[in-house]
A and B are shown apart, each in its own frame.
Chain A
Amino acid sequence: MHSMILRSFIAPTFQKMRHSYALQAFSSNALQSSPKARLNIPIDFSSTPILAHSAEDAIANPELKSELSSGATKRMNLCQSINDALSLSMAKDDSVILFGEDIAFGGVFRCSLGLLERYGAERVFNTPLCEQGIVGFGIGAAAEGLKAVAEIQFADYIYPAFDQLVNEAAKFRYRDGTHGRHAGGLTVRMPCGGVGHGALYHSQSPESLFTHIPGLRVIIPRSPLQAKGLLMSAISSKDPCIFMEPKALYRATNEHVPTEVYKLPLSKAEILKEGKDITIVSYGQPIYTCSAAISAAEVDFGITIELIDLRTVYPWDKECVLQSVKKTGRCILVHESMINAGIGAEVAASIQEDKDTFLRLEAPIMRVAGWSIHMPLLYERFNIPDVTRIYDAIKKIINY
């Protein structure tokens, strides 16, 4: 969809960005922060409690215990763990194919690096530059028994394929009735979210457009370990999956990831940190921002805050969120995409709609999210929820 000029322009730009991440991980963040800042300081991915900094941390994950036969891990960034998930899925199952724009040489974000050499040009291939074709082709291949893993180069370019996703992939099983055919073998991967300078068409987070569509599973991982397990589940799922990869985390996040095959459950939220005064619900990149805001607020206000990662934003784990809010009585929803009709709207409505949880609410539910505007180049850091805005919401909700 995007012009070739933009494409050739953006690839070196992202390479440059990867360069700076590799050498000075936080230089672009550092440029943004005020010298006096206490809250809006760059996220320190090397110490965040969200990532598994040691093999022991990774293996200690209770969801993995039954999945793993050995404790072998390897430090991977998000690109590498996605590559690992794709590679293991292809090794395990001959029917897995990988296709999209520019994926054969490794992909513009390097997520498919080395897979053509390992699995052959019949299973890993470039398509013409046409998103509706990519998704339509994937649906047909899935309907005839392949596990089709399609890549859309940026989530911002999924819209030409919207008809194929909404009217076809999502409804395939329903309309086929007792024949039982479906497009469940389809997984559509796409990089999403802000990256510092992606502006209007390299920053979008369109997840809520997909959560209005029964039949699709929408998954957004927060880390390399999570991405691998969730992607392996998405590929083997019998429902069509939208797998959104926060591109800001591709190289920023590094953690120990089990090297074996393992899966993490879809439509299951995860409580990352327990607390009793406030529940914060988020997913994807802002999980790190929430974690930083929580650390500051807990010290400043002497409270404890529960942090929940939804992971699958639809069909989502309502039970987990309701249980938490029943306990804390306060809830803040954080996401990068716009406030209007975002994931936060659905979660907030569901909380107040549940009669038991409604009675426990001690403050209005709050949303900290992107403003209802397009992502502007210069102003990205004022648009994406930052530590200060989340901290401020925490302050307001406890003082209500």
Chain B
Amino acid sequence: MKRFLQPCRVNLTLHSKTCRMRCSSSLSQRPGAASVCFPGAVNSKFTKTLKFELPSSYPAIPTYRAMAPDGEIIDPEFTPVPDQIALDMYVNMLGVCIMDMIMYDAQRQGRLSFYMTCQGEEGICVGSASVLEKADIVFSQYREAGVFKQRGFTFSDFMNQLCANKKDPGKGRNMPIHYGSKSLNMHTISSPLATQIPQAAGAAYALKLQRLTNPSIPSRIVACYFGEGAASEGDFHAALNIAATRSCPIIFICRNNGYAISTPTLEQYRGDGIASRGVGYGIDTIRVDGNDVFAVREVTRRAREIALQDGGRPVLIEAMSYRISHHSTSDDSFAYRARIEVEDWKRRDNPVSRLRRYLEKLGVWTDEHEHTTRTRLRKEILQAFAEAEEEKKPPISTMFEDIYEDMTSETKTQMLDLRSVLAAYPEEYDLTAFQGE
């Protein structure tokens, strides 16, 4: 009896200690107190008015913009970026743009199994990535080619993955556009939506703990990208809540492009976008014009500073844009939205043309620059693509590796079983594309 009761007594003391720490003023309600001291909401004032909070009575969270669609800087507080940085960002956005056009067509010609473009969202990716440190860890969804490009992914890196050749670090196991890079600290993309969000929170906690153990490590953050559709998944909720309660140094970057495949945002949520939810989790939140690469860059730069305050704090950025492209090569978006709407967005405003106007006003970019750069990028991409297509595929035995750290005897047996089938029926299989052994 005694042995059993003892832990309980210890536990009760601990429990009341925690309560005192949480609500130091008092555990019980003081007579005449103006606000609640329930443990669940410590600063809530009492009211005699019975009133429901109406979402419609709150103004929509404003969208921060530094540069107007004509390329004019409108935020007086905004410090212009050095010309070279702006030019680099522009060329990276253009590069992704041209790669998208070429690879989309390549998929249409049957030279790739699948592709997803990121037209309209180059600004969010390039702008945010331009202020991340190389040591920061990135988790992406799949429409973040601009982040990869800005962080140093080469056209050959893209092409080797897209072609699933033997130079693909993913060993030809994953669908196209599921990029990853250890040296650039970018986790490999997986198809299930939103699963990376709680993982990113856990990774951020690891960075925080590593720095607590060894303060000489430079402080790092995690940046986690996802679309507004993915934010409906339970994993989004899980991640923001745990990142807040564990004070993780992380920036959640939501690309709100208006559509999740065919589903418009009206069928995705009824609140004020994704940003309004951040506040509910106790997370510092901002909404930004995703077509304004400078606004995204500035917002991310400040978010990174906040994320590192007090040992770690999550931040949510909702970057607004429009998905100009089809969802993927398996989707014809004109089945659910008007061609004119898309054309209108393309013409009216997009992140690439906006930055181009800025650079032209500055006098550092001309039609001639545009022409020669486009020609150069096109050539580089086509060459990387041709080389990647030429490469052999990895050896077939690759399919059995990396399930566990060491191959199990079950897998070894199955590998030999497949090998003997391939040997016994050589006419049934075309192995010419694969590298031997």
Q: Which residues of A contact B (CB under 8 A)?
A: 15, 18-19, 22-23, 94-95, 97, 105-106, 110, 113, 122-123, 125, 127-128, 130, 132-146, 148, 160, 163-164, 167-168, 171, 173-182, 184, 214-215, 217, 237-239, 267, 315, 318-319
Instruction: Find B198's partner among A132, A174, A175 (CB 8 Å cutoff).
Output: A132
The answer, yes or no, to whether B181 is at the interface (CB within 8 Å) is yes
B304 smallest CB distance to A (angstroms) = 18
Tell me whether A139 and B190 are in contact (CB under 8 A): no
User: A198–B169 Cα gap in the complex (Å)?
Assistant: 47
The answer, yes or no, to whether B171 is at the interface (CB within 8 Å) is yes
Q: Which of B216-238 contact A (CB under 8 A)?
A: 234-235, 237-238
A18 contacts across to B, CB distance below 8 A = 4
A238 contacts across to B, CB distance below 8 A = 405
- Nearest residue (CB) in B for A126 is B245
Q: A22-B4, A23-B1, A181-B182 are in contact. Are A137 and B242 (CB under 8 A)?
A: yes
Tell me whether B170 and A125 are in contact (CB under 8 A): no
Tell me whether A137 and B202 are in contact (CB under 8 A): yes
A156 smallest CB distance to B (angstroms) = 18
Q: Mark B169-207, 1 if CB is under 8 A from A, else 0.
A: 111011000101110000110101001011111111111
Tell me whether A127 and B242 are in contact (CB under 8 A): yes
Instruction: Find A167's partner among B173, B195, B246 (CB 8 Å cutoff).
Output: B195
User: A290–B238 Cα gap in the complex (Å)?
Assistant: 42
Tell me whether B15 and A146 are in contact (CB under 8 A): no
B53 smallest CB distance to A (angstroms) = 23
The answer, yes or no, to whether B7 is at the interface (CB within 8 Å) is yes
The answer, yes or no, to whether B121 is at the interface (CB within 8 Å) is no
B397 smallest CB distance to A (angstroms) = 14
User: A136–B203 Cα gap in the complex (Å)?
Assistant: 10
B201 contacts across to A, CB distance below 8 A = 133, 136-137, 140
User: A128–B174 Cα gap in the complex (Å)?
Assistant: 33
The answer, yes or no, to whether B432 is at the interface (CB within 8 Å) is no
User: A174–B411 Cα gap in the complex (Å)?
Assistant: 14
Instruction: Find A106's partner among B7, B137, B180 (CB 8 Å cutoff).
Output: B7
Tell me whether A136 and B173 are in contact (CB under 8 A): no
- Nearest residue (CB) in B for A217 is B404
A22 contacts across to B, CB distance below 8 A = 1, 3-4
B181 contacts across to A, CB distance below 8 A = 179
Closest 3 CB pairs of A and B: A136-B198, A140-B202, A133-B238
Instruction: Find A177's partner among B15, B139, B197, B402 (CB 8 Å cutoff).
Output: B402
A130 contacts across to B, CB distance below 8 A = 234, 237-238, 241-242
Q: A136-B195, A175-B173 are in contact. Are A141 and B11 (CB under 8 A)?
A: no
Q: How many A-B residue pairs have CB under 8 A?
A: 180
Tell me whether B1 and A177 are in contact (CB under 8 A): no
21 A–B contact pairs at CB < 8 A?
A: A18-B4, A106-B7, A122-B212, A123-B209, A130-B234, A132-B238, A135-B198, A140-B202, A140-B203, A140-B206, A144-B203, A167-B190, A167-B192, A168-B199, A173-B404, A176-B188, A177-B180, A179-B169, A217-B404, A318-B410, A319-B409
Tell me whether B403 and A136 are in contact (CB under 8 A): no
Tell me whether B409 and A318 are in contact (CB under 8 A): yes
- Nearest residue (CB) in B for A350 is B410
B195 contacts across to A, CB distance below 8 A = 136, 163-164, 167-168
User: A136–B201 Cα gap in the complex (Å)?
Assistant: 8
Instruction: Find B209's partner among A97, A105, A160, A175 (CB 8 Å cutoff).
Output: A97
A180 contacts across to B, CB distance below 8 A = 182
- Nearest residue (CB) in A for B167 is A178
Instruction: Find A175's partner among B4, B14, B174, B212 (CB 8 Å cutoff).
Output: B174
B269 smallest CB distance to A (angstroms) = 19
- Nearest residue (CB) in A for B182 is A179
B202 contacts across to A, CB distance below 8 A = 136-144, 146, 148
Tell me whether A144 and B173 are in contact (CB under 8 A): no
Tell me whether A181 and B188 are in contact (CB under 8 A): yes
A106 contacts across to B, CB distance below 8 A = 7, 11
Instruction: Find B173's partner among A135, A177, A237 (CB 8 Å cutoff).
Output: A177
User: A178–B173 Cα gap in the complex (Å)?
Assistant: 11
Tell me whether B168 and A177 are in contact (CB under 8 A): yes
Tell me whether B171 and A177 are in contact (CB under 8 A): yes
The answer, yes or no, to whether B109 is at the interface (CB within 8 Å) is no
Instruction: Find B408's partner among A97, A181, A315 (CB 8 Å cutoff).
Output: A315
A300 smallest CB distance to B (angstroms) = 38
Instruction: Find B206's partner among A15, A141, A215 (CB 8 Å cutoff).
Output: A141
The answer, yes or no, to whether B8 is at the interface (CB within 8 Å) is yes
